[in-house]
Amino acid sequence: MKKRQRKKLRIEEFTEWGFDVDLEIDISEKDRQANNDFLDEVIEFVESQDLYIGGSSVEFYVCRKKTATEEDRVTMLDFLSNHKNVTNVKIAPLSNAWYGGKEKATRYNYKELRKKLWEE
């Protein structure tokens, strides 16, 4: 596969990595102001690290414009572990941000990859 195609499909050397975060927080669902304050703090931290998140307030996926690193995982874990409202935090290993899965992206046959993506 040519470099242009690998880049377009974000595979091999163009694979982008991210990680899942699952939290348990000590904030009542009815306390909207406390929940909003917590989310504001998380978003402020994420933006200061030049990361992006998507999901809910207790389950989200973290990535970077190019690719997240192991250092990003450790930094996020430190921040959330030391936060006063977080009672439990689980951070998954790096995974392929575009295709999921924890294994490294492998060389795909373009037709097989396209078929696989359309089946899902």
Least confident of 21-30, 54-63, 95-104: 95-104
Question: Does residue 105 surpass a pLDDT of 50?
Answer: no
- The CATH number that domain 17-97 falls under is 3.30.70.260
Q: Give Rg (Cα) of the chain.
A: 17
Lookup: tokens for 70: 């192991």
* CA 84, 87, 93, 98 torsion-angle sign: negative
* pLDDT tens profile 40-91: 999 999 999 999 999 988 899 999 888 899 999 999 999 999 999 999 999 9
Which residue ranges make up each domain of the chain?
1-16+102-120, 17-97
pTM above 0.85, yes or no: no
Report the pLDDT averaged over residues 91-98: 89
